[in-house]
């Protein structure tokens, strides 16, 4: 065994370093670690950039994407005006058979109720979802009859009509308007020849913008739910008819 006193300073330093490394290896540490940040990523990126710079750039011919074809214009509702009905009897038959008036669905088409020259034509967006054989045969229909009675109209002197022939869940009213549903409604009114027209529901009101010949109000379902709306509706009706005091 070497006597430590006989070892030179260099040998002592080498022995101490070897002993320290052996201790770290026994502790499971095989690599040297440092808290000083090293620019490994920067060197990698720089190396990659240098390699890319040496690679020739090959231009790839690309075919331009075709332009999207314009969507075809939606077919006008009712078809050619030359084929539109000329009287109310023809209109009722056309209302129940013309394909463009209503999309396919499980709900039945229902004819308007009443005859020409009615005291009041009550116009609502569409039949109730519970209507099967008669228009407005449910809760909204009961509200409609109450409204007509208050206005002085009897079932015989009233005309019940809808914008759409059948009930449709969530109809696209702007699309229907752009396809001319408002013209169909005006044709209906012209053939029915009522003394007054009462249009109920926001979607119906939008078809009569700035038309003072039509009295517009909330939908039947809104009138059923709110006494306040019924009061405002009645006051507006009295003002429109000139009966307000």
- Report pLDDT for 177: 95
The arithmetic mean of pLDDT across residues 119-140, rounded, is 96
Q: What is the pLDDT of residues 188-233, one digit of tens each?
A: 999 999 999 999 999 999 999 888 999 999 999 999 999 999 999 9
Mean residue pLDDT of the chain comes to: 82
Q: What is the mean pLDDT of residues 225-242?
A: 96
CA–CA separation, 235 and 41 (whole Å) = 78
**Per-residue pLDDT at 19:** 55
Of the candidates 239, 190, 184, 244, which has an alpha carbon nearest to the alpha carbon of residue 217? 239
pLDDT for 71: 40
Q: Is 158 strand, coil or helix?
A: strand
Confidence of residue 10 (pLDDT cuts 50, 70, 90): low
Q: How confident is the model at residue 144 (pLDDT cuts 50, 70, 90)?
A: very high
Residue 135 pLDDT exceeds 90: yes
pTM: 0.70
Q: Which of 160, 84, 148, 151 is nearest to 124 (CA)?
A: 160
Identify the pLDDT of residue 129. Answer: 95
Angle ∠(45,50,55) on CA atoms, nearest 5:
120
Q: What is the pLDDT of residue 75?
A: 85
Q: Residue 57 has what pLDDT?
A: 42
pLDDT band at 70 (very low <50, low <70, confident <90, very high): very low
**Lowest-pLDDT range of 73-77, 101-105, 128-132, 181-185:** 73-77
Q: What is the pLDDT of residue 117?
A: 97
Its sign, for the CA torsion 217, 143, 101, 90, is: negative
**Mean pLDDT, rounded, for 93-111:** 93
pLDDT digits (tens, 9 = 90+) for 11-58: 655 565 565 555 445 544 555 555 555 554 555 445 545 555 554 444
Give the integer Cα–Cα distance in Å for 175 and 167: 16
Q: Which two tokens stand for residue 40?
A: 């490994």
DSSP 23-75: HHHHTT--S---SS---HHHHHHHHHHHHHHHSPP-----PPPPPPPPPPPPP
Q: Which residue has the higher pLDDT, 10 or 174?
A: 174
């Amino acid at each position: 065994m070497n006597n430590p006193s006989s070892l030179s300073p260099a040998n002592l330093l080498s022995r101490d370093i070897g002993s320290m490394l052996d201790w770290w290896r026994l502790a499971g540490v095989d690599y040297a670690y440092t808290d000083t940040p090293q620019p490994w990523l920067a060197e990698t990126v720089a190396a990659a950039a240098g390699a890319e710079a040496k690679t020739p750039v090959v231009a790839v011919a690309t075919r331009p994407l075709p332009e999207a074809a314009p969507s075809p214009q939606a077919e006008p509702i009712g078809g050619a005006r030359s084929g539109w009905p000329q009287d109310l009897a023809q209109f009722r038959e056309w209302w129940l058979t013309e394909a463009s008036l209503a999309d396919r669905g499980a709900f039945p088409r229902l004819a308007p109720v009443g005859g020409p020259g009615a005291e009041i034509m009550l116009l609502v967006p569409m039949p109730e979802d519970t209507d099967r054989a008669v228009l407005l045969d449910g809760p909204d229909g009961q509200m409609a009859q109450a409204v007509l009675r208050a206005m002085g109209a009897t079932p015989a002197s009233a005309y019940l009509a809808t914008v759409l022939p059948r009930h449709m869940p969530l109809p696209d009213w702007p699309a229907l308007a752009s396809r001319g549903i408002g013209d169909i409604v005006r044709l209906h009114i012209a053939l029915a020849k009522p003394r007054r027209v009462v249009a109920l529901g926001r979607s119906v009101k939008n078809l009569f913008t700035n038309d003072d010949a039509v009295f517009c109000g909330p939908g039947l379902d809104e009138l059923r739910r709110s006494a306040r709306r019924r009061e405002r509706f009645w006051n507006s009706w009295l003002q429109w008819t000139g009966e307000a005091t």
